[in-house]
């Protein structure tokens, strides 16, 4: 059977030592059908959208047929899972077909998730149910639209088969696109094995792949560490500013590029709580909302440790340099986070007291368990003269209005020191405070409907989440917070 190519592959990762991966041919499925294509991403990648919607594409994106230039592999990596090192994990249900180069000369991985078992599956079936595929598709594209660094979803393909978890579920395969799938755990894998040659080649590859500027007389490993610290600080600051909880920040889920990856037990905060835990498997709260920056720094320390075997001389000096670098994470994260929060509040001329205003507000939201996204929407609208009388009054969100109004008075005084008008602030805040986020109860409803063959809610969410800052009057219901019975929920790993 002739397969018309839809990608033009290159294979830079496969040129690394063979112990960095294992060959992994996808396992065929019975009846692949394209359920969803990410048209905007396809356009950015220089792909033919009409071709991606064809039966031919369904064969390729399900793994049933391989392009002649494909080289399917599963990547090797280790990882600290809830603080405990597992020396060998690897892609147990993900297969990298190859990389593509976009019209603007960027390089991206093309990976199939749920395409069957690999060498690293550890007895698993290597498959994915429809639910996790749709969750990652919607969450990753929402994150991209919100300006958060993330891997992205190109396609969701129905397999025509069932996968068996607690019960039989429709199967699906996700096509994931990423700048790379290099993880902190990738380096840990070879550090554990004391394979300095592989570590050196990985370091050189990461620097070249991500166009990291090399500083003369600085070891490449130090340059790479500095880059990863910077990328992770920006990413986690974005998470915190939009109320996103990753759920499982194991080192195998943290990328070198700073892209958010692996959307299994993730969720967006509804009622604000510093200590909110969403993952059903995080029984001790290790990855609760307010721990995410600290965990990121802990993960980066593990990354620094994994680079140490490359240094045979001056180990103490290199260790001191790395410790100094790691200390910059808190400074960078704090800087990015405060900048994000200032924009959410419409504060464009930074002042030292802004941090106190932000902290006091979050304490009030935490105390009263106010819906995070809804609050900032109301706050945004207070700067729009034509909307003030039409929208619910913001203080009605609070049982204790006095405490909030005291803060609001301070906030209004601070705004008077800006050089923008109310309507100008409204436009600025509107670009930082989304109306639509992938609320858990809506995702669950969309998944349940899709499992019964009704994809309407999925496509509605796909549409509004691609433009989360815009009003969508016909889809207003998708902006409504959950009811009490819908709020008390846990998320589950898609595996």
Please list the active-site residues: 252
d(CA 486, CA 227): 40
Here the tokens at position 380 are: 């945004």
**Between helices 315-344 and 354-368, what is the axis angle to 10°?**
80
40 vs 279: CA distance, rounded Å:
31
The counts of H helices and E strands in the chain are 16, 13
Distance (Å) of CA 192 to CA 82, 185, 307, 309, 417: 18, 10, 11, 9, 55
Q: Burial, 298: exposed, middle or buried (Cβ in 10 Å; 0-12, 13-18, 19+)?
A: middle
Q: How far apart are CA 379 and CA 82, in angstroms?
A: 37
What Rg do the C-alpha atoms of the chain give, in angstroms? 23
DSSP-derived 3-state class of residue 392: coil
Residue 257 and residue 150 in contact, taking contact as beta carbons nearer than 8 Å:
no
**What is the helix (H) or strand (E) element at residue 192, kind and residue range?**
helix 184-192
Conformational region of residue 247, where left means phi above 0, alpha means psi within -120 to 50, and beta covers everything else: left
Terminal-to-terminal C-alpha distance of the chain: 33
The residues pairing with 341 across neighbouring beta strands, listed in sequence order, are none
How far is it, in rounded angstroms, from Cα 158 to Cα 494?
A: 16
Residues 280/284/288/291 CA torsion (nearest 10 deg): -150
């Amino acid at each position: 059977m002739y397969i018309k190519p839809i990608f033009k592959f290159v294979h830079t990762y496969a040129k690394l030592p063979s112990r960095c991966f294992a060959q992994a041919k996808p396992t065929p499925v019975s009846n692949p059908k394209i359920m969803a294509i990410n048209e905007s991403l396809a356009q950015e990648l220089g792909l033919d959208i009409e071709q991606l919607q064809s039966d031919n594409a369904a064969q390729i994106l399900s793994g049933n047929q391989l392009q002649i230039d494909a080289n399917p592999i599963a990547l090797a990596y280790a990882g600290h899972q809830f603080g405990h090192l597992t020396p060998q994990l690897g892609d147990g249900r993900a297969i990298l077909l190859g990389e593509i180069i976009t019209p603007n000369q960027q390089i991206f991985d093309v990976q199939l998730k749920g395409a069957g078992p690999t060498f690293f599956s550890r007895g698993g079936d290597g498959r994915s149910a429809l639910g996790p595929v749709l969750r990652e598709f919607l969450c990753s594209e929402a994150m991209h639209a919100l300006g958060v660094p993330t891997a992205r979803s190109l396609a969701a393909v129905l397999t025509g088969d069932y996968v068996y978890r607690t019960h039989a579920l429709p199967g699906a395969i996700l096509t994931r696109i990423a700048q790379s799938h290099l993880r902190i755990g990738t380096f840990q894998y070879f550090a554990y094995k004391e394979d300095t040659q592989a570590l050196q080649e990985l370091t050189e590859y990461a620097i070249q792949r991500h166009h990291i500027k090399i500083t003369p007389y600085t070891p490449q490993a130090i340059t790479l560490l500095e880059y990863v610290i910077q990328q992770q600080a920006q990413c986690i600051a974005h998470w915190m500013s939009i109320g996103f909880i990753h759920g499982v920040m194991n080192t195998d889920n943290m990328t070198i590029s700073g892209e958010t990856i692996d959307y299994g037990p993730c969720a967006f905060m509804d009622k604000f709580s510093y200590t909110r835990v969403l993952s059903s498997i995080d029984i001790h709260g290790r990855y609760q909302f307010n721990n995410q920056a600290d965990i990121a720094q802990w993960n980066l320390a593990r990354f620094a440790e994994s680079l140490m075997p490359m240094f045979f001389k001056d180990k103490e000096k290199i260790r001191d340099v790395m410790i100094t670098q790691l200390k910059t994470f808190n400074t960078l994260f704090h800087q990015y986070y405060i900048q994000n929060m200032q924009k959410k509040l419409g504060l464009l001329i930074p002042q030292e007291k802004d941090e106190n205003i932000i902290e006091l507000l979050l304490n009030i939201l935490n105390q009263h368990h106010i819906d995070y996204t809804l609050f900032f929407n109301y706050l945004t609208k207070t700067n729009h003269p034509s909307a003030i009388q039409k929208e619910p009054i913001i203080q009605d969100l609070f049982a204790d209005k006095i405490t909030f109004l005291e803060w609001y008075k301070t906030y209004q005084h601070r705004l008077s020191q800006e050089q923008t008008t109310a309507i100008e602030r409204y436009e600025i805040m509107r670009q930082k405070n989304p109306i639509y986020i992938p609320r858990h109860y809506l995702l669950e409803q969309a998944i349940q409907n899709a499992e019964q063959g009704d994809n309407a809610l999925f496509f509605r969410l796909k549409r509004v989440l691609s433009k989360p800052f815009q009003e969508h009057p016909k889809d207003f219901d998708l902006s409504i917070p959950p009811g009490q019975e819908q709020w008390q929920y846990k998320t589950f790993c898609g595996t």
